[in-house]
Structure 1
Amino acid sequence: MAHALPPASRVGRELVAAGIAIRRIRAGPAKEALKRAGRAADSARIPALAAEVDRALRAFQAPAARLETRGAERLVHLEDVETLLGSDTLLVDACRGLVRQGATTIPLATRPVLFALVRAMARAWPGDVARETLLGHVFRSRHPDASHRARLRVEIARLRAEIRPVAALFATGTGFALRPHVAGDVAVLAPPAECDHADVLALLADGEAWSSSALALALGVSARTVQRALEDLARQGRAEAFGRGRSCRWIAAKVPGFPTGLLLPSSAIIG
């Protein structure tokens, strides 16, 4: 049915298809959809549409994430991420707040303390992380006391229960270490450039529309803290709002492939 559409409409259709494939981390279908969008834009001979396709293609070709493993890090593209997800690597996904291995996915985006703990241990793997380091990194405590150490023990127990399907935590002489059940690497997948509000972005990355109050509840912080973070992200072009007042909802900035106003039909244009 796609061939029956006019070229301008085919551009929008293929960019939407590319955007869906990108969200599903399917590099091959995304690339093919972008190629079809390019051919349709050439047929349409509309410079604005050609620019839209070029923007989406450049975004697709840019690094999708930063991979940290065994003390080293490098930028990776969508194809690399797809390959990684199909491997036996125990992956701590800081882009979406997940721990995953194969088909097993453990969401921790709404448990920021647990996610910070497992990420710190994944970055140190196969070594351990000292208790003092965890206290300073996770709890932002410069002078930890007995109450901080007690809370760390509680959070470690909670994390151990959460990740039991894929890995174990064990205490060392100085701290804690991560041990995956399946032999293989442990890696952290992070955004190419991290910002100060990665926890908010991790929730928005699921593609759903969130209210600021729902985000505050999920993260365990005040609504004002979340509102400031959302305003910062909007200024950076990383988040978008629609609606007003209590009906205001927030989403992550457009993934390449979802149509802008240039691709939407308009009675004025049709006329």
Structure 2
Amino acid sequence: MDSLITAAGRALMAGDPLGALNRVALRDDAPALALRGIAMAQLGDLDRAKTLLRRATRAFGAKEAVARARCSVAEAEIALVSRDLSWPAKALDTARVTLEAHGDRVNAAYARYLGARRLLLLGRLDDAEHTLAGLDPTPFPTALSAAHELVVAGIAIRRLRTKMARAALARAESAARHAGIAALTAEVESAGNVLNTPAARLIEQDGERLLLLEEVEALLASQALVVDACRHVVRDPDTTVSLATRPVLFALARLLGEAWPGDVPRGTLIAQAFRTRFADESHRARLRVEVGRLRAELGMLAEVSATKRGFKLVPHGARKVVVLARPIEDQHGDVLALLSDGEPWSSSALALALGVSQRTVQRALDSLATAGKVQSFGRGRARRWLTPPVPGFTTTLLLPAPLPAG
């Protein structure tokens, strides 16, 4: 490999894409095409970067398996940054296996890291942890060590393990500082802000207040019965009852939780849970049926008792009931939570991450766009959606993640 290629590669590792382009901008050989593609990706021209990397892959030829694998890893990173979650993960796995077989441990580790980040975006936390389990970041370059710790922190944040997250972010900050890459340092700082901004509202007998993620973690570990309006579950430290697919039952549970230890009049329950202004005998009959269903769902956690005016929630044992709500109540909060990372998402990637149909996501995006909360650019398959982060709040509790077993 000639001196210009070596110098360009070092410039890219130091986060200096313009320095790399100064050395290889006029060259069309395979190594130069690959370096130019990576440089363009660092500068944000992702379409041009993909074109250059694909040209480089073809130019390297079948005998240069390691170089082609490195191009595949670079293309996978571009797909991840552009939130193209449908990019074939098998291609990244194939590239990683090739790199491991040829002793390129650093790029193989980076391929594993990219796979873990994709799984994290999809809310597949167990799979992301398994992907990272075989990696020891100690011998890797500082930039890769920082990236590794960011994924570890991301998993810990989504699992509400804030002490583990802070430790990983401290390691990531140290590695990023030693790497001297401004963009990486900014990414670490942005991740750290999640732990220092309100994540939820606590609604209880004494009123409301905002909670940090650490406080949410402590609340969920306490003996309180929590009606969680972020994940649409009712839980205590030992049992979780999901009502995510039972919106009427969850609405009733939330109303009863907000009123605890008092009761809620039947008329209020009918009006708010059934979304109607006029109640007749059919609505009162339906309320009795839905309350019976709620009793069955919450049987291990609490009783729903009838009163003269309506119903009240009576938790098993001497403990309080609280409601955990979003900092800002907003329709389609799960879509906004994914868009709040500041990256442009396609509707297909949003649907894949949320586990719903693309048409459902498109309806949500159209509604949010009408309200001025999201913007789009591009057309057809190239259309992307984005929104600025909600100032002063973190949307961590709205991101897709597996619920604890009940």
| TM-score when normalising by structure 1 | 0.78
Taking a change above 3 Å as real, the CA distance of residues 165 and 230 of structure 1, as seen in their structure-2 partners, is: farther
Taking a change above 3 Å as real, the CA distance of residues 85 and 154 of structure 1, as seen in their structure-2 partners, is: same
Q: Which has the higher contact order (CA 8 A, sep 6+)?
A: 1
**For residue 212 of structure 1, what is the amino acid of its counterpart?**
S
SS in 1 for 2:138: helix
Q: How many Å apart are 1:227 and its aligned residue?
A: 3.8
What pairs with 1:173-212 in structure 2 (closer than 5 Å)?
Answer: 173-198=308-333, 209-212=354-357
Asked if 1 retains the 8 angstrom alpha-carbon contact of 2:153 and 2:168, the reply is yes
What pairs with 1:135-214 in structure 2 (closer than 5 Å)?
Answer: 135-198=270-333, 209-212=354-357
User: What CA distance in whole angstroms lies between the structure 1 residues aligned with 2:223 and 2:241?
Assistant: 15
Q: Given the alignment, which residue of 188, 202, 218 partners 1:53?
A: 188
Q: Does 1:8 align with 2:153?
A: no
User: What CA distance in whole angstroms lies between the structure 1 residues aligned with 2:254 and 2:159?
Assistant: 23
User: What CA distance in whole angstroms lies between the structure 2 residues aligned with 1:22 and 1:173?
Assistant: 44
User: What CA distance in whole angstroms lies between the structure 1 residues aligned with 2:275 and 2:335?
Assistant: 18
Q: Which residue of 2 aligns with 1:261?
A: none
SS in 2 for 1:4: coil
Asked if 1 retains the 8 angstrom alpha-carbon contact of 2:169 and 2:192, the reply is yes
Q: Which residue of 2 aligns with 1:44?
A: 179
Asked if 2 retains the 8 angstrom alpha-carbon contact of 1:71 and 1:123, the reply is no
Taking a change above 3 Å as real, the CA distance of residues 166 and 80 of structure 1, as seen in their structure-2 partners, is: same
Q: How many Å apart are 1:2 and its aligned residue?
A: 1.2
Taking a change above 3 Å as real, the CA distance of residues 143 and 199 of structure 1, as seen in their structure-2 partners, is: farther
Asked if 2 retains the 8 angstrom alpha-carbon contact of 1:109 and 1:199, the reply is no
Q: How many Å apart are 1:114 and its aligned residue?
A: 0.2
Asked if 1 retains the 8 angstrom alpha-carbon contact of 2:233 and 2:241, the reply is yes
**For residue 233 of structure 2, what is the amino acid of its counterpart?**
L
Q: How many Å apart are 1:255 and its aligned residue?
A: 5.3
What pairs with 1:1-271 in structure 2 (closer than 5 Å)?
Answer: 1-198=136-333, 209-212=354-357, 227-232=362-367, 236=373
User: What CA distance in whole angstroms lies between the structure 1 residues aligned with 2:152 and 2:212?
Assistant: 19
User: What CA distance in whole angstroms lies between the structure 2 residues aligned with 1:66 and 1:191?
Assistant: 6
Q: Which has the higher helix share?
A: 2
Q: Which has the higher strand share?
A: 1
Asked if 1 retains the 8 angstrom alpha-carbon contact of 2:199 and 2:395, the reply is no
Q: How many Å apart are 1:179 and its aligned residue?
A: 0.1
User: What CA distance in whole angstroms lies between the structure 2 residues aligned with 1:230 and 1:111?
Assistant: 23
* Alignment RMSD: 2.7
Residues 153-184 of structure 1, C-alpha deviations (whole Å, 9 max, x = no match): 11000000000001000111111000000211
Taking a change above 3 Å as real, the CA distance of residues 89 and 141 of structure 1, as seen in their structure-2 partners, is: same
Asked if 1 retains the 8 angstrom alpha-carbon contact of 2:243 and 2:250, the reply is yes
Structure 1 stretches of 4+ with a deviation exceeding 6 A read 199-202
User: What CA distance in whole angstroms lies between the structure 1 residues aligned with 2:148 and 2:179?
Assistant: 14
Asked if 2 retains the 8 angstrom alpha-carbon contact of 1:166 and 1:182, the reply is no
Q: How many Å apart are 1:232 and its aligned residue?
A: 4.3
Q: How many Å apart are 1:200 and its aligned residue?
A: 7.6
User: What CA distance in whole angstroms lies between the structure 2 residues aligned with 1:200 and 1:160?
Assistant: 31
Taking a change above 3 Å as real, the CA distance of residues 199 and 183 of structure 1, as seen in their structure-2 partners, is: farther
Q: How many Å apart are 1:59 and its aligned residue?
A: 2.1
Q: How many Å apart are 1:24 and its aligned residue?
A: 0.8
Name structure 1 gaps, 5 residues minimum.
214-222, 238-243, 245-252, 259-271
Q: How many Å apart are 1:229 and its aligned residue?
A: 2.2
Q: State percent identity of aligned pairs.
A: 52
Query: Rg: which structure is higher?
Result: 2
